[in-house]
Structure 1
Amino acid sequence: MDQSVELQKQFNAVSAKYDRQRPLLIPCFQDFYRMALKVADQVESVHSILDIGAGTGLLSAFFKQKFPKAHCTLVDFSEEMLQKAKTRFIGEEGFSFRQEDITQADFGEDQYDLVISSLAIHHLEDEQKKVLFQKIQKSLRKGGYFINADQVLGENETAEAFFKSDWTNHVLNQQKLTAEEKEAVFKRVRLDKMAKLSDQLRWLEEAQLYDAHCYYQYMNFVVFAAHK
Structure 2
Amino acid sequence: MRFLNEMIQIPVCTFIFIWVYAVNVSAGEIKGVVLFSPQSVKTQARQTMPRYPHGKSRELPMHGIGNTTQAVVYITGKFPDSTFSTPDTQPIMDQRDEQFIPYILPVLAGTTVNFPNNDRVYHNIFSFSKAKTFDLGKYPTKTSKKVKFDQTGVVKVYCEIHAHMNAFILVLPNPYYSVVNQDGKFSIPDVPAGTYQLKIFTGRGTESEKKIIVNDNRTTLVEFSL
Query: Which is richer in strand?
Result: 2
Higher-RCO chain (CA-CA 8 Å, sequence separation at least 6): 2
Check whether TM > 0.5: no
State TM-score, norm by structure 1: 0.25
* Larger Rg computed on CA atoms: 2
